[in-house]
Structure 1
Amino acid sequence: MGNRLWTKDYIFVCLTTFLMFLNYYYLLVTIPIYLIQDLQGNTAQAGILVAVFYVAAIFIRPFAGQWIEAYGMKKALIASLAIYLGAAIMYLFTDSLMSLAILRFVHGIGFGMITTSLGTIVADIIPKGRKGEGMGYYGLMMNVSMALGPFIGLLAINQWGATTMFVISVVSVAVGTFTAFLISLPKEKLRSAAENTVKDKGLLMNNLIEMSSLRISLVSFFFALVYSSIVSFVSVYAAELQLTEVASYFFIVYVIALIVSRPFTGKWFDQYGANVIMFPSIISFAIGMFLLSQANSAFMFLFSAAFIGLGWGTIFPSAQTIAIQVAAPERRGVATATFLSTMDSGIGIGSVIVGIVGAKIGYSSLYFYSSLFVLVGLIVYYVLHGKASRRSAPEQAFELRKVD
């Protein structure tokens, strides 16, 4: 295949990722409605269901990374697909808060496993000289699903009811499972030694966390604290501004900005290194948060989405690429798990902090101070990674692995 990016396997990994994340965002907005409308629950209980899902995903990822290292990507992928599809089917039979909470925990385990598996597989499939570009398009699949999932989910539950909504959910995961089985995984030669390591040493911290990827993972944690305010509360802020009718277009603009920029940002990452992409992306993220804090019209509200999309939407795949590059090839599963768990922890913790702070000072002030917080991230990134990222990506990866 040489240096070719758009191979059959890469396309099927991207399609599978898109469908699994589509299902994730689809249920993220519809499960609370189902709980309140069909099971007579309340908003506090809906919040618990969101937390249960995230806790399960964060908890399982370090173990999933270790299982990939020990037993190979194929077995880990099949196990994650079975759990994820099984959970999607079981939603059709939930009839109480307790059963729904248990199912959300199981579904979170499947989500944590499958995202770790797919992230590891795509890192192996992408040619060495095109990691930034390949991970950028891979990340774009998640962002597009983030825009489409809630839109389709709300349409389904409001127009056709919960049963049809869950059937559509099963279909999306079933199709994603089918495309996953079309991926031709390379034969893994390093697994026997890794398996012996796991069996001999058990669940040691070094087996669960990839230390070489921890610094850039902490960078993602820092920015995820701010991004949580967008995921969780931008629609609430839109209502305060009396812009409810345009709130649903926020992530559409966000994704359009990403689609326009993606052909350039990934290639520049590969050609010129991480700093050329990360520093402007952080500044773009800060500008977007500042514009959002000052929004007093639909134009300004949506204009901020473009900068936030260019910012966070580029920071996330770039940081994930770095996390994978600095780890040894046989540790990519653990590196992926370390990165995603750390980032999700930032979103989860940030959602709690933002909810408390936003209620006290208002969301306009919150987003203003968040823009300053993001600018501080320039220093955080430089200290934790940027100062070591002055060479090309392959040279940087070698050097950082040597240091760690």
Structure 2
Amino acid sequence: MKERPADSTPSSIQPSAKEPLWTSRFIMLSVANLFLFFGFQMLLPTIPAYVTQLGGDNSAIGMVIFILTLSALIVRPFSGAALDMFSGRLILVVGSIITLIAIGSYIIAASVGIIYLLRVVHGIGWGISTTTYGTMASDIIPASRRGEGMGYFGLASTLAMALGPMSGIAIMKTYDYSVLFIVSFSLTFCSLLVSLLLRGSGKPSKEATANKTAPAIPAANSSLLSRLVDKQALFPSLLVLLIAVTYGGIVSFITLFGNEQNIANVGWFFSVNALMLFLVRPVSGKIFDTKGHVWVLLPGAVFSLAGLLLLSYTSGTPMLMLAAACYGIGFGAIQPSLQAWTVQRAAPDRRGAANATFFSAFDLGIGLGALILGPIAAATNYAVMYRLSGIMFVIYLVVYVVYIGRERKTALLGSTSSS
């Protein structure tokens, strides 16, 4: 099948001027997404320390990350299918309440086993909420500005990534875990409040549904699997899974890597990485819209691979910051572009399933990174682990280049036969 251009809006309905992006709904949705991700990012580096305090070892830390991503992975396809049928705001309320229950219950957790159970609940709420936010955003953003819009929408999670981990660590060290969980709970509750103020149902508009760019799968004739997983989303999702494995290794073990290399504050990695994400997302989104995915996804992988290799040889803060900058540039270009590409390939009434497929792959990659890379580090060290994790980007580049070659060959054959 010939690949659609980055702007897949038919030429007959191309707008003469830029369609509005910064609407009140888009801004409020971005703010709500910021609160949700901030509360989550605060717990990302602190929950492993909490597990250690309760008597858990490195294997328990890996399981804590994996359990959340696995439960989110399982629930995302169902939440995506629900989004194609029901109000996004309703699904969002359900996901937010489940998330609030999990975060509030961390305060009274007395063992690693209870933390495992709460991570299942948290993963379910997280999977529902993030899938819903991504789907609602893709419905609000004009098709002609999808790459740019998804890049800007992703800045909310980027800002949370920049400030959340360091804020969580600061609260944990200054006060205690109870205060940390209360702040995370409050931010998640604010996310729910803002989302409730959104006007509209959160479902695709009739106009958007009328302007389909890909065929929808008839519900009556489709299997359960095809309803839950969007076929058009599979290839971008494979690519995001590969890069997510490396990110899972970073968020799970970079604190321990810092201890191994005697780096005083590895929190600088999160800050510099997030700063680069913040700067590159809008630019990469515009490149995606005007030139297509090749101009973003190939250089992004090269930058990310360079970041991992630099990280593996890091022995001090300056090189750590350089590694974070390279990785952030690459990851910031790839992740939102792959999501925009996923949405672009899907029919408007299949965006819920498409987003669920994409985020499920991302979750699975993070979980696999935490589960697989940990034993590699135990057998070698964290520096070697990061070096070997770069293989994921090598696979990414090979798979993507083969895909591009096949698409261009198909397009050439098609043009030859038509002439």
Instruction: Give the structure-2-normalised TM-score.
Output: 0.84
* Structure 1 residue 43: Cα displacement: 4.9
Q: Distance in 1 between matches of 2:343 and 2:324?
A: 28
User: How has the CA–CA distance of structure 1 residues 203 and 177 changed in structure 2, closer, same or farther, with 3 Å as cutoff?
Assistant: farther
CA offsets, 1:324-353, max 9 Å, x none?
110000000000000111121112112222
- For 2:385, the aligned partner's letter is L
1:329 aligns with 2:351: no
Say if 1:258 and 1:309, in contact at 8 Å, map to a contact too: yes
* Structure 1 residue 206: Cα displacement: 0.3
- For 1:144, the aligned partner's letter is L
Corresponding position of 2:242: 222
Map of 1:354-393 to 2, 5 A cutoff? 354-384=373-403, 388=407
Q: 1:17 aligns with which of 33, 36, 58?
A: 33
* Structure 1 residue 44: Cα displacement: 4.2
Identity %: 33
Corresponding position of 1:156: 171
Q: Distance in 2 between matches of 1:178 and 1:389?
A: 48
Moved more, 260-269 or 91-100: 91-100
CA offsets, 1:13-55, max 9 Å, x none?
1111111111112223333333443x55555444433332222
Per the alignment, in what secondary structure is the counterpart of residue 355 of structure 2?
Answer: helix
Per the alignment, in what secondary structure is the counterpart of residue 242 of structure 1?
Answer: coil
1:89 aligns with 2:139: no
Higher helix share: 1
User: How has the CA–CA distance of structure 1 residues 182 and 383 changed in structure 2, closer, same or farther, with 3 Å as cutoff?
Assistant: farther
Moved more, 120-129 or 295-304: 295-304
Corresponding position of 1:28: 44
Say if 1:9 and 1:182, in contact at 8 Å, map to a contact too: no
Corresponding position of 1:274: 293
Corresponding position of 1:100: 115
User: How has the CA–CA distance of structure 1 residues 274 and 250 changed in structure 2, closer, same or farther, with 3 Å as cutoff?
Assistant: same
Say if 2:245 and 2:392, in contact at 8 Å, map to a contact too: no
Per the alignment, in what secondary structure is the counterpart of residue 253 of structure 2?
Answer: helix
Corresponding position of 2:213: none
Corresponding position of 2:267: 248
Corresponding position of 2:3: none
Map of 1:134-145 to 2, 5 A cutoff? 134-145=149-160
Map of 1:132-211 to 2, 5 A cutoff? 132-185=147-200, 188=204, 204-211=224-231
Q: Cα RMSD over matched residues?
A: 2.8
Moved more, 265-274 or 224-233: 224-233
Q: Distance in 1 between matches of 2:376 and 2:61?
A: 20
- For 2:20, the aligned partner's letter is R
Say if 1:293 and 1:367, in contact at 8 Å, map to a contact too: yes
Say if 1:216 and 1:384, in contact at 8 Å, map to a contact too: no
* Structure 1 residue 159: Cα displacement: 1.7
1:348 aligns with 2:364: no
Say if 1:215 and 1:384, in contact at 8 Å, map to a contact too: no
Corresponding position of 2:251: 231
* Structure 1 residue 203: Cα displacement: 6.7
Q: Distance in 2 between matches of 1:365 and 1:152?
A: 29
Q: Distance in 2 between matches of 1:96 and 1:303?
A: 38
1:121 aligns with 2:123: no
User: How has the CA–CA distance of structure 1 residues 259 and 302 changed in structure 2, closer, same or farther, with 3 Å as cutoff?
Assistant: same
Q: Distance in 2 between matches of 1:359 and 1:77?
A: 40
Corresponding position of 1:308: 327
Moved more, 142-151 or 87-96: 87-96
- For 1:324, the aligned partner's letter is V
User: How has the CA–CA distance of structure 1 residues 352 and 81 changed in structure 2, closer, same or farther, with 3 Å as cutoff?
Assistant: closer
List alignment gaps of at least 5 residues for structure 1.
391-398, 400-404
Per the alignment, in what secondary structure is the counterpart of residue 239 of structure 1?
Answer: helix
1:68 aligns with 2:83: yes
User: How has the CA–CA distance of structure 1 residues 386 and 102 changed in structure 2, closer, same or farther, with 3 Å as cutoff?
Assistant: farther
Q: Distance in 2 between matches of 1:355 and 1:44?
A: 8
Corresponding position of 1:79: 94
Aligned residues: 385
* Structure 1 residue 229: Cα displacement: 2.2
- For 1:239, the aligned partner's letter is N
